[in-house]
Amino acid sequence: MKRNLLLISNSTNAGEEYLGWPRPYIANFLKKFSVRSVLFVPYAGVNLSGEGISQSYDIYEERVKSVFAGFGVELMSVHSSDNPRQAVKKAECIVVGGGNTFHLVKMMHETGIMNPIRDQVRLGIPYVGWSAGSNVACPTMKTTNDMPIAEPSSFKCLDLIPFQINPHYLDANPQGHAGETREQRILEFLVVNRDVRVVGLREACLFWIEGNTIELKGSRKLRVFDYGQPAREYGEGEAIDFLLKE
C-alpha cells in the first residue's frame, strides 16, 4: 500500500505552545513530500469558541493555519468548502486535528469525506493527524478516550493501518482515582475484539509511516497489546514494522 502518514499522539505538551513539540517532525514531513498546501479537517474541535460549532471550526482553522504558515504551507479547512468530497480529491495533503473523536467521525461520514480521504491516502497523498486525527487513521475509532457526545453512523474509520492506536496513553490513573487504568480498558477491548492489536502511544510520541515501514519518534516507548499476551514495549530506533503486517 502506498501511504505516507504522520500519526501524532498529542498536539501540545504542558507549558508548551500549540503544536510545539511535534513542529519539527511536521515540518520535515511536509518538506519531504514537497507539500505546499494542505486541506484541514476541523470536525473534532467542538468547543473552542464557547458560542457554536461553526465558530469553533473557524477558530481551529486559524490556529492551525498560523502554525503551518511558519512552514511556508497554505491551509484551507474542509468546512469552508461547498463540495468537501471534491476538496479532498484535489488536496495535496490531508491534515486532521484532534478533539472529540465521536464528533469527528460523525462529520466525516455525514460529509462523505471518509472514503475519499482513504482513497487518496492509499494513493500516496500525505496525511498528518494528531490525537483524534490519529484515531481515525485506524480501522475503527473504538480505542478513543473520548466521551460519546455525538453518534456516528458507523465506528469504521480510514483503515490506513491494520492496528488500533490509543493516543495519550497513560500508565496509571491520577492519584486518588479508583477507576480502571488505561491498560484495563484496553484489555476489556481485547476480550471482545481478540483479533485486533492495540498500541498505546504515549504523549510526545508519533509514528512516521511510509509504505510498509513504520518508525516511532519521540521521548517515550510505545506499548503493544495483543489478546492473551503480555504487553510489550518498544522505543525509538527499535524495529516495529511488524505492526503494519495484516
End-to-end CA distance of the chain: 11
Is 154 a residue of the active site?
Answer: no
**Of 56, 77, 131, 134, which one is the catalytic site residue?**
131
Q: What's the maximum distance between 2 C-alpha atoms anywhere in the chain?
A: 50
Torsion of CA 180, 185, 187, 189, to 10 degrees: 150
Is 146 a residue of the active site?
Answer: yes
Q: What are phi and psi of 115, to 5 degrees?
A: -65, -45
Q: What's the order of all strands across the beta sheet hosting 94-96?
A: 74-77, 37-41, 94-96, 127-130, 4-8, 205-210, 213-218
Q: What are phi and psi of 205, to 5 degrees?
A: -135, 155
**Of 168, 177, 226, 241, which one is the catalytic site residue?**
168
Question: Are 31 and 212 spatial neighbours (Cβ–Cβ below 8 Å)?
Answer: no
**Of 146, 153, 171, 195, which one is the catalytic site residue?**
146
Question: Are 76 and 40 spatial neighbours (Cβ–Cβ below 8 Å)?
Answer: yes
Is 168 a residue of the active site?
Answer: yes
Residues 6+ apart with CB under 8 A from 40: 60, 61, 64, 65, 75, 76, 77, 78, 95, 96, 97
3-state DSSP helix/strand/coil % of the chain, to nearest 5: 30, 20, 50
Cα separations (Å) of 17 from 13, 22, 23, 48?
Answer: 8, 11, 10, 16
Active site residues: 131, 146, 168
